[in-house]
Amino acid sequence: MSSSASAQPRPLSLGVIFLTLYIDLIGFSIIFPLVPDILQHYLGVEGSTGVLGGLVNFTEHIAQMLGKDRNFAAVLLGGALSSIYALLQFVFAPYWGAKSDQRGRRHVLLMTVAGTAASYALWVFSGSFWLFVAARFLGGVFGGNISVATAAVADVTSRQERAKAMGLVGAAFGLGLVTGPAIGAITAQWNLLDAHPQWAAWGLHPFSVPALFSLGLAVINFIWVRARFDETLQDENRTGRPAKLELKHPLRAIRDLPSPAVQRINCIGFTFALAFCAMEFSLTFLGADRFGFTAKQNGIMLGYLGVCSIITQGMIVRKLLKRQSETRVLKTGLILATVGFMFVGISPNVTVLYIGLGILALGAGFVNPATSGLISLYSADDEQGRALGIFRSLGSLARAITPVLAGVVFWVVSGTAVFGAAAALALGSWSLARTLPPPQP
Give tens-digit pLDDT for 50-81: 666 666 676 667 666 766 655 555 565 666 66
Distance CA 358, CA 304 (A): 8
For residue 7, the tally of other CB atoms under 10 A from its CB is: 12
Q: What's the pLDDT at 436?
A: 84
Binning pLDDT at 50, 70 and 90, where does residue 1 land? very low
Residue 219 is predicted with a pLDDT of 92
Distance of alpha carbon 60 from alpha carbon 68, whole angstroms: 9
| CB-based contacts of 160, cutoff 8 Å, min separation 6 | none
Residue predicted with more confidence, 135 or 16: 135
Residue 3: the pLDDT is: 38
DSSP H helices, 199-294, are: 208-228, 250-255, 260-291
From the DSSP assignment, how many helices (H) and strands (E) are in the chain?
18, 0
Query: What is the pLDDT averaged over residues 351-366?
Result: 91
CB 104 within 8 A of CB 411: no
Is there a contact between 344 and 419 (Cβ–Cβ < 8 Å)?
yes
Identify the residue with better confidence: 118 or 16: 118
Please write the tens of the pLDDT for every residue from 279-316. 877 787 788 778 887 766 777 787 788 888 888 877 78
| pTM of this structure | 0.74
Condensed to tens digits (0 to 9), the pLDDT of residues 183-222 reads 887 888 888 988 888 998 898 999 999 999 989 988 998 9
DSSP 8-state assignment for residue 7? S
| Model pLDDT for residues 213-255, shown as the tens digit of each residue | 989 988 998 998 888 888 877 776 666 555 454 545 545 656 6
Q: Return the higher-pLDDT residue of 112 and 179.
A: 112
CATH number of 15-232+249-433: 1.20.1250.20
The pLDDT of residue 135 is above 80? yes
Angle of the 295-311 helix axis to the 162-187 helix axis, nearest 10: 160
CA distance 271 to 286: 22
Q: What confidence category does residue 335 fall into, taking pLDDT thresholds of 50, 70 and 90?
A: very high
Name the percent of the chain lying above pLDDT 90: 15
Residue 170 has pLDDT above 80, yes or no: no
Res 27: pLDDT: 73
